[in-house]
Amino acid sequence: MYTPDLNRQPFPHSTGKIVCVGRNYAAHAQELNNPIPERPILFIKPGSSAVPMVPAFSIPVDQGEVHHELEIALLIGKRLRHASASEADLGIAGVGLGLDLTLRDVQQELKDKGHPWERSKAFDGSCPLSDFVDTRRVPDWQNLTLCLKRNGVLQQQGNSAAMLFGIVPLLVEISRTFTLEPGDIVMTGTPAGVGPLKPGDRLEASLQDWLEVETMVMGGQDVSV
């Protein structure tokens, strides 16, 4: 359930592409024994991966562990191509939360074989999204706190100040490779504390005191669309 907010934009049902950033928090890279990148690691999820985070979302139950990765999600409102910092800042229409669901066993198997790992990251339903808050609520992109609890236990907590690549510089960098269009989503990376989900888990996620989301993890057929 959501706390009331008149400045909220609902989950965009006509989502474009979702550009994701890997290893944007050093502690997360270290917990997975990955090197810290010197420039942003980018990958894309298709629009079909986006589903509403509430009231529930489903996970695959036959492909090994499915890990939660809570992230600050940005809703793009203006076309950004080779954008300046000011253009990138003005191009953000909303800020919310997203889960980059990851088939961790599948990902490791694909990495071991030297294969691309979209199957582990870009499957249908792999990006549950919250509603989006108006960016006029944001005084400082480098001081946003996000938090995830699973069954009442704190799992992830982070602040955008700890990002290796800050939010506006990220958009500038992304726009040099991928033109961002209105309706696209940018997932900005996850803090440490990722771990497996199970059907029946209850999640509570928050962004500052602007967004408080409660949802439930289901297994099997997707119940959220």
Q: What is the pLDDT of residues 130-140, one digit of tens each?
A: 999 999 999 99
pLDDT 10s digits, 52-61:
999 999 999 9
Q: Which residue has the higher pLDDT, 31 or 138?
A: 138
Q: Which tokens is 15 given?
A: 């989502």
pLDDT at 50 over 50: yes
Pairing of strands 50-52, 127-134: parallel
DSSP one-letter code for 52: E
pLDDT 10s digits, 138-150:
999 999 999 999 9
> What is the band of 4 on the pLDDT scale with cuts at 50, 70, 90?
very low
Please choose, from the candidates 197, 149, 198, 194, the residue with its C-alpha nearest in 3D space to the C-alpha of residue 34: 194
Name the CATH topology of 9-219.
Answer: Fumarylacetoacetate hydrolase; domain 2 (3.90.850)
pLDDT at 6 over 70: no
Estimate to the nearest angstrom the gap between the alpha carbon of 57 and the chain centroid.
15
CB 80 within 8 A of CB 171: yes
**Residue ranges of domains in the chain:** 9-219
pLDDT 10s digits, 170-198:
999 999 999 999 999 999 999 999 999 99
Q: Which pairs with CB-CB distance under 8 Å and at least 24 residues apart come from 176-179?
A: 176/82, 177/42, 178/17, 178/19, 178/42, 178/44, 179/79, 179/80, 179/81
Q: Which tokens is 52 given?
A: 């509403």
pLDDT at 96 over 80: yes
Find the length of the chain. Answer: 225
